[in-house]
Structure 1
Amino acid sequence: MERKDILLVEDDDMMAALLGHWLEKEGYAVTTLKNGLQVKEALCESLPDLIISDIMMPYYSGIELVDHIRNELKLELPVILISAASNDENVMNAFELGANDFISKPISPHELLVRVARTLKTMKA
């Protein structure tokens, strides 16, 4: 199985380290960034297989990133959004703009890994 590249966008260092650890332990190559501006710059350099992004972060929110990826870059790059603010409006906005999945914090390692694998499998099909 080829190693999948995941771009993890999380401004909380502890959360980023925890999520990164779970993903790397599962065999994914993880690059961690702290804000939406860094993501926009990174996407000009190379494309990951999947982006996991917090919604609430500096410069550009996760929802604004999905909008940028779908409507400006015109990419089908899979995006999973995560947030502690899992109100209906955030969830609906995420899906309407083209997010592939949404996970509410606190996140269980098993749920994260299952959703990542499912999203990657769906995009491959």
Structure 2
Amino acid sequence: MNTSDKKIMIIDHDDMTIEILKFILKREGYKISIAKDGINAVVRIPTIMPDLVITNIIIPLKSGLEIISYIKQNFKDIRVVALSALGEEENTVEEAFELGVDDFIAKPFNPNELLLRIKRFL
């Protein structure tokens, strides 16, 4: 399976982050879908069935932690990378890993590092 077969969902309310991620990931050949809030993400995940989800921790309507929990309870094969400016807050990072997040990346992130981590899962 090459990268063009892989689907990644980005869940974030920040347009700049979305545009940066779209640019990086599309250039690598991934199929991208976007959700700007937690409710939209929960509704769309079962129909899109992404291979990987990149979610911010702080998003409207449902938190990134709630999204991680939802995915890990219902879709064991979907990998989840949490992205947050809260990288230095240990409790949030700890909780994300307790819920089953596959990786955690602090903002601002290095695009090459992000890609390497994604490729490791896909």
TM-score band w.r.t. shorter chain: over 0.9
Aligned-pair RMSD on alpha carbons? 1.1
Runs of 4+ in 1 over 2 A off after TM superposition: none
Aligned pairs for 1:40-55 within 5 A? 40-55=42-57
Q: 1:85 maps to what in 2?
A: 86
For residues 14 and 2 of structure 1, the distance between their equivalents in structure 2, rounded to whole angstroms, comes to 24
For residues 26 and 46 of structure 1, the distance between their equivalents in structure 2, rounded to whole angstroms, comes to 19
CA contact (8 A) 2:3 2:29 kept: no
Alpha-carbon deviations, 1:27-46, whole Å to 9, x = none?
11111110110111002323
Q: 1:67 maps to what in 2?
A: 69
For the structure 1 residues 114 and 40, does the alpha-carbon distance in structure 2 shift closer, same or farther, using more than 3 Å as the test? same
For residues 12 and 93 of structure 2, the distance between their equivalents in structure 1, rounded to whole angstroms, comes to 18
Ranges in structure 2 where 5+ consecutive residues have no aligned partner: none
Alpha-carbon deviations, 1:39-82, whole Å to 9, x = none?
110023230110000000001111111111122x2523100000
Aligned residues: 119
Name the aligned partner's letter for residue 77 of structure 2: E
For residues 74 and 6 of structure 1, the distance between their equivalents in structure 2, rounded to whole angstroms, comes to 14
TM-score, scaled relative to structure 2: 0.92
1:19 aligns with 2:17: no
Identical columns (%): 36
TM-score, scaled relative to structure 1: 0.90
For residues 2 and 17 of structure 1, the distance between their equivalents in structure 2, rounded to whole angstroms, comes to 19
1:110 aligns with one of 88, 92, 112: 112
